[in-house]
Structure 1
Amino acid sequence: MNDSLRPPLPPFTLEEAVLKVRKAEDAWNTKNPALVSLAYTEDSCWRNRSVFLNGRSEIVSFLENKWLRELDYRLIKEIWAFAHDRIAVRFAYEWHDRDGSWFRSYGNENWQFAKNGLMKTRYASINDIPITEAERKFDWSPGPRPVNYPGLSALGL
């Protein structure tokens, strides 16, 4: 695939925006920073919690460090709203630290896309909630969430 074109392209229909969200979720669930970074423009700007990033190389470094700390990471994203070249999502992910303590992280992201379908801006606000292993809801095998696995609304999250 030509990494300078990432369909669906804006302006998005509802179906295209939902597909864009699912593609992002699937990529993040690979936990492959280099692969994930290809969905962003070379000069993409992020705010992730209190961290500000610019460009793919910073994104890759950030994600490498993230997934060294957040073990057995599983993510579900759900569309919240969309218009033209923007998509808002809500998400939750589960992970544990090296001590075995489990967390569910809840958040919202605002995305803006370039004409070629690559994300040029990402603003993420995230809160971590401690959970017990028994409270986990994201228990599929590593990799993308299975097609028939429930989403956030179906899980009551």
Structure 2
Amino acid sequence: MASSTQADAGKPPFPPFTLETAKIKVKAAQDMWNTKDPHKVKNGYTTDSIWRNRDTFLKGADEIVEFLTKKWSVENGYRLRKELFAFTENKIAVQFWYEWHDTTGQWYRTYGLEDWTFAADGRMRKRQMSGNDVKISDEERWFKEGVDVNAVDILEKHW
């Protein structure tokens, strides 16, 4: 069973998850994605991981790297927040919000949910993502440079 000692030692929490280790796993994923480095991100997934990202279906580390490289070449200024929604022994569901701008400078906030299934070694073997993009102005942004995404009170924001 995963423990905080295991997490403190720099190892990922492994299934079966507890409330504590599920929260640690979600924030570790958030931090990994916020690096915007596809080669680092792929290390959190099994080599044969399967993904559904909106209308795109992927399988394996090479496709993940290709997808994320393309994603972050378009989604400039990307800043992400993930929060635990629910969990079981080897599954975690998260809600997320991220902001980015396109090449014209138009800002967007993406709202969504993800469904994750983990292998025994703590890496994700299945990821399903559903999300919607909403145009926002610079003034409406939550995750401006210098703002800790974890400090933003999402519940108090006007949707």
Tell me whether the two structures share a fold, i.e. TM-score over 0.5.
Answer: yes
The residue that corresponds to 2:140 in the other structure is 135
Show structure 1 runs of 4+ deviating over 2 A. Answer: 145-157
Considering only aligned residues, what root-mean-square deviation do their CA atoms show, in Å? Answer: 1.8
TM-score normalised according to structure 2 size: 0.88
The verdict on how the C-alpha distance between 1:37 and 1:154 changes in structure 2, with shifts beyond 3 A counting, is: farther
Instruction: Sort the Cα spacing of 1:111 and 1:9 in 2 relative to 1 into closer, same or farther, 3 A.
Output: same
Give 1:156 deviation, angstroms: 5.9
Which range is displaced more, 89-98 or 132-141?
Answer: 132-141
Contact 1:74/1:95 (<8 A) preserved: yes
2:93 to 82, 88, 96: 88
Matches of residues 7-156 of structure 1 in structure 2 within 5 Å? 7-141=12-146, 146=148, 149-150=151-152, 152-153=154-155, 155=157
Query: Mind listing any 5+ residue stretches in structure 2 that lack a counterpart?
Result: 1-10
**Do the aligned residues in 2 keep the contact of 1:76 with 1:152 (CA within 8 Å)?**
no
**Distance verdict in 2 for CA 1:47–1:27, change over 3 Å:** same
Distance in 1 of aligned mates of 2:149 and 2:99: 18
- Tell me, which stretches of 5 or more residues in structure 1 are unaligned? 1-5
Give 1:139 shift.
1.1
Is the 8 Å Cα contact of residues 142 and 152 (structure 2) preserved in structure 1? no
Three-state SS of the structure 2 residue aligned to 1:19 is helix
C-alpha separation in 1, matches of 2:140 and 2:57: 32
Contact 2:143–2:149 under 8 Å retained in 1: no
With over 3 angstroms needed to count, the CA separation of the structure-2 counterparts of 1:136 and 1:125, relative to structure 1, is: same
Q: How many corresponding residue pairs?
A: 150
Higher helix share: 2
* Residue identity opposite 1:68 in structure 2: S
For the 8 Å contact 2:44–2:123, the answer to whether it is kept is yes
Deviation at 1:121, TM superposition (A): 0.2
